Amino acid sequence: MFSRILIANRGEIACRVIRTAQRMGIGTVAVYSDADAHSLHVAMADQAVNIGPAPVTDSYLRADHIIEAALATGAEAIHPGYGFLSENPGFVDAVVKAGLVFIGPSADSIRAMGLKDAAKRLMEKAGVPVVPGYHGEAQELVVLASKAREIGYPVLIKARAGGGGKGMRKVDNPDDFAEALGSARREAKSAFGDDRVLVEKYVAKPRHIEVQVFGDNHGNAVHLYERDCSLQRRHQKVIEEAPAPGITAEMRAAMTSAAVKAALAINYSGAGTIEFIVDASEGLKADRFWFMEMNTRLQVEHPVTEMITGLDLVEWQLRVAAGEKLPLTQKQIALNGHAVEARLYAEDPARSFLPAIGTLHHLAFPDNVTNGDIRIETGVRAGDTISPFYDPMIAKVVVHAADRTAALAAMESALVQTEIAGTTTNLAFLAALIRHEGFGSGDVDTGLIDRDLASLVAPSATAAGAKELAIIAASGLLEQPASDDPWATLRGYSHLSSPAYPVTLIEEEKPVRYGVAILNNERFMLSGPAGKIEVKVRRDASGWHVTGKGINLRAKTAAIPNGIAVLSKGAVSSFAVTDPFLLAEAAGNAADRLSAPMPGLVKSVRVSAGDMVKKGQILLVLEAMKMEHTITAPHDGKIAEIVTESSQVKEKSSLVRFETNE
């Protein structure tokens, strides 16, 4: 076994690998960019090496810097995690050439499965069913458009390299094909350095079911059952579970057999995932699944497989890479219970899931859930910042229970108890998904989120008592006096009447002034535009318990920049608190300008200053988090100024200014 390994990654997966390595007595070396100097994975590792500036192209994608760090620290092997260089065969070759061990499959296996078109041709030869489509070499528009017509609309354009929904576009009619192809190619080129695509038939009610496989260097390969990853937004997974709901023994046997056959066809070694698209229009049937692609690495959702099998997949990776045989045979791998994973992101579901940045001023996860087990995979702590440079994942919340019903209840319990303040997150969205009637019944497909998005992202009403608690917290009157303070019982005492402490909230972009008076150590009188209200605030095990007329709230408070956050039952209500004499003019889009919704790179500019544009016309394409975001004209008008192509812009910086009539 190795004595020391280097983890060529960051965030939660780096922390995940470090934990298993340390349990096995293996030394760990972390690498980090300038932006990650104080990150959790750096603190956890035995050693850490800076590999460059914040942009991934200057740090986590610098294979030479990573290999140099491994050699300098005496590491014997490199674990790639997922993303970054994990499926780059050139990196594998360089690692091996340097005399190190790559903890993953061979470069040949990655090459065989790295290009979707070639992989599908290989799978056809191996007898694995593939989706009907065009997987050829010709990339001319006229050829691809012709093939799309032959296949029949709707079709799916997919980047032949990479995954994660990048470089993927659904096209419903021929008129939109050229625009969708151009967009897919640009995104694929940016994300994977390869703009070639394939075209496939779009399955009407698709489910995404994948099989975890494992091989060694002794000719053995096994499966570790399936995972259902059908709940997706923008082709990226949101909630995963194992086993797949509604799967029959016949279908499981067919899918797992095909997956093992695929692994053996390329002499696969290490952890890998065979992804299948399933036609669920008539239920799950053994002849209605097709090979999509193979991920030649550990998957983000691997914890659900670990929960139902009781195995440590990172330990298996280390043992196989060290030359050992697979720890268990197929017959020894049992399936127990049901597991669900929810990906908790700093993003805004109501704004097309735009990534959010900010400081995690308050972050707390539950230690236990009802009738189940919980596991939190994270690479951040309270006080850490979500930066614009990397994936905005905060954590993976994973639960395990005896059956699916209990697992969903455990997940709801976990989400309700999770507390985050300081940045926008998808926490409420995840809870809404778990409560979704269709998902609860197992009637899922990859289009569920898009169909029901409006209800899933609908803002919930602010809990009664939340504003009152925020106002009192902002006044500073909730601060607990020291236990040895002799004047504690007289806090707020006045010989004549209790003074009203002033607090100003920003409501609908306008300052609203309130007053807080202490009636005694637990009772407060609040005065404001709507009159006066008396509330009682007591501290208990869950935080604060606020009661009053129509109020019965249990919540916690957290200080955030210029405000107070109230956290209750998985929901967070933020209240801006300010000095009314220092109010700044609200920023944002006006009738004569458009501002950047997030930090990013201006990938392409479609119009010029002086051009007349129509409402809905594409003005420019902004790239952020390796995804393209189209900026369109909100109204007819004439362009006065527009940002230049290849510009790096900040959130709320001006992108477009329209001419206005005096």
pLDDT tens string 70-111: 999 999 999 999 999 999 999 999 999 999 999 999 999 999
The pLDDT-based confidence of 203 (bands split at 50, 70, 90) is confident
The pLDDT of residue 388 = 87
Mean pLDDT along residues 10-20: 98
Bridging pattern class, strands 618-624 and 627-632: antiparallel
301-317 pLDDT, tens per residue?
Answer: 999 999 999 999 999 99
The pLDDT-based confidence of 583 (bands split at 50, 70, 90) is very low
Residue 177, classed as helix, strand or coil, is helix
State phi, psi for 471 to the nearest 5 degrees: -65, -45
- Asked if pLDDT for residue 190 goes beyond 90, the answer is no
494-507 pLDDT, tens per residue?
Answer: 444 556 788 999 89
Q: Minimal CA–CA distance to 229: which of 449, 453, 379?
A: 449
Residue 528, classed as helix, strand or coil, is strand
Mean pLDDT estimate for the chain: 90
- Asked if pLDDT for residue 213 goes beyond 60, the answer is yes
The token duo for 536 is: 């009682």
Percent of the chain with pLDDT over 90: 71
Task: Report CA-CA distances (Å) from 215 to 84, 212, 316, 440.
Answer: 23, 10, 10, 34
Please answer whether residues 94 and 67 qualify as being in contact, where contact means their C-beta atoms are separated by less than 8 angstroms: yes
611-642 pLDDT, tens per residue?
Answer: 999 988 889 988 765 567 778 888 899 999 99
Residue the block writes with tokens 């997956």: 259
The pLDDT of residue 248 = 94
- Asked if pLDDT for residue 199 goes beyond 90, the answer is yes
Bridging pattern class, strands 654-658 and 637-642: antiparallel
The pLDDT of residue 578 = 78
Q: Report residue 661 CA to chain centroid gap.
A: 44
Looking at residue 175, the DSSP 8-state letter turns out to be G
Measured N-to-C along each axis, helices 116-126 and 107-114 cross at an angle, to the nearest 10 degrees, of 100
The pLDDT-based confidence of 479 (bands split at 50, 70, 90) is low
- Asked if pLDDT for residue 589 goes beyond 70, the answer is no
Q: Minimal CA–CA distance to 471: which of 408, 423, 534, 403?
A: 534
- Asked if pLDDT for residue 480 goes beyond 70, the answer is no
Interior/surface letters 434-445, b for 16+ CB within 10 angstroms, e for the rest: bebeebbeeebb
The pLDDT of residue 159 = 92
Q: Minimal CA–CA distance to 378: which of 8, 40, 22, 18?
A: 40
The pLDDT of residue 559 = 84
Q: Minimal CA–CA distance to 518: which of 495, 540, 494?
A: 494
**Position 80, amino acid:** P
165-182 pLDDT, tens per residue?
Answer: 789 999 999 999 999 999
Beta bridge partners of 617: none
Helix (H) or strand (E) holding 411: helix 404-417
The token duo for 1 is: 């076994």
- Asked if pLDDT for residue 588 goes beyond 50, the answer is no
The pLDDT-based confidence of 489 (bands split at 50, 70, 90) is very low
The token duo for 406 is: 């209990």
Beta bridge partners of 639: 658
Interior/surface letters 159-198, b for 16+ CB within 10 angstroms, e for the rest: bbbbbbbbbbbebeeeeebeebbebbbbbbebbbebbbbb
Mean pLDDT along residues 440-466: 92
C-alpha span between 431 and 247 (Å, rounded): 24
Please answer whether residues 523 and 534 qualify as being in contact, where contact means their C-beta atoms are separated by less than 8 angstroms: yes
Percent of the chain with pLDDT over 70: 94
Q: Residues 6 or more apart from 92 whose CB is under 8 A from it? A: 102, 104, 105, 106, 107, 110
Helix (H) or strand (E) holding 73: helix 63-73
**Position 583, amino acid:** L
224-271 pLDDT, tens per residue?
Answer: 999 999 999 888 899 999 999 999 999 999 999 999 999 999 999 999
The pLDDT of residue 584 = 32
The token duo for 655 is: 């992108």
Q: Report residue 589 CA to chain centroid gap.
A: 27
C-alpha span between 173 and 170 (Å, rounded): 10
Catalytic residue among 169, 233, 297, 343: 297
The token duo for 3 is: 């004595």
Mean pLDDT along residues 205-233: 96
Q: Is 657 exposed, middle or buried (0-12, 13-18, 19+ CB in 10 A)?
A: middle
Least confident of 38-52, 441-455, 484-498: 484-498
Q: Quick check: is 62 catalytic? A: no
- Asked if pLDDT for residue 577 goes beyond 80, the answer is yes
The pLDDT of residue 627 = 62
413-445 pLDDT, tens per residue?
Answer: 999 999 999 999 999 999 999 999 999 999 999
The pLDDT of residue 136 = 85
Q: What is the pTM of this model?
A: 0.81
The pLDDT-based confidence of 158 (bands split at 50, 70, 90) is very high
The pLDDT-based confidence of 598 (bands split at 50, 70, 90) is confident
- Asked if pLDDT for residue 18 goes beyond 60, the answer is yes
45-73 pLDDT, tens per residue?
Answer: 999 999 999 999 999 999 999 999 999 99
Please answer whether residues 342 and 411 qualify as being in contact, where contact means their C-beta atoms are separated by less than 8 angstroms: yes
